[in-house]
Amino acid sequence: MAEDSSYESILCVKPEVHVYRIPPRASNRGYRAADWKLDEPAWSGRMKITAKGKMAFIKLEDKNTGELFAQAPVDQYPGVAVEAVTDSSRYFVVRIDDGNGESEIFSLPGKSMGELGEVDPTPSRW
């Protein structure tokens, strides 16, 4: 019997997260939280991590209406979609896909990737 990849499971829900718009990297050294305006979140809401088939999705939603603000497809960690920050274990850089082929880079705070997702975000572990 073929695996049904249309089934979506919820791996984690965080009721309150803050998203920070971050500047482009100045060099190949990586992203640094010290360079950001951490006292000025660009957005606040709920985060859901879901899995569908061999992909995970970090979904940012309005905490009252559930309206999708943005999402990041994740096929591996670390990878293009989610990167660790070089000067902090509390923040992660997430590449958000707007659905039209454009992406923006934001940061999400957390104590660790495990705290953010409470799951190993590597698709092979689901």
| Domain 8-24+35-111 belongs in CATH node 2.30.29.30 | yes
Nearest to 106 by CA among 62, 70, 68: 70
Tokens in use for 112?
């660790």
pLDDT score of 116: 46
Which parts of 1-126 are beta strand (E)? 8-21, 43-52, 55-61, 68-74, 82-85, 88-97, 103-109
Higher-scoring residue by pLDDT: 45, 89: 45
Task: Place 99 in a pLDDT band, splitting at 50, 70 and 90.
Answer: low
Task: Place 110 in a pLDDT band, splitting at 50, 70 and 90.
Answer: low
Higher-scoring residue by pLDDT: 26, 72: 72
> Residue 2 is which amino acid?
A
Q: Which pairs with CB-CB distance under 8 Å and at least 24 residues apart come from 121-124?
A: 121/49, 121/56, 121/74, 121/76, 121/77, 121/82, 122/76, 122/77, 123/51, 123/54, 123/55, 123/56, 123/74, 123/75, 123/76, 124/54
pLDDT score of 103: 57
Question: Three-state DSSP class for 46?
Answer: strand
pLDDT in tens, 62-71: 999 999 988 8
List the domain boundaries for the chain: 8-24+35-111
Task: Place 91 in a pLDDT band, splitting at 50, 70 and 90.
Answer: confident
Q: Chain-centre distance of CA 73, in angstroms? A: 8
pLDDT score of 27: 73
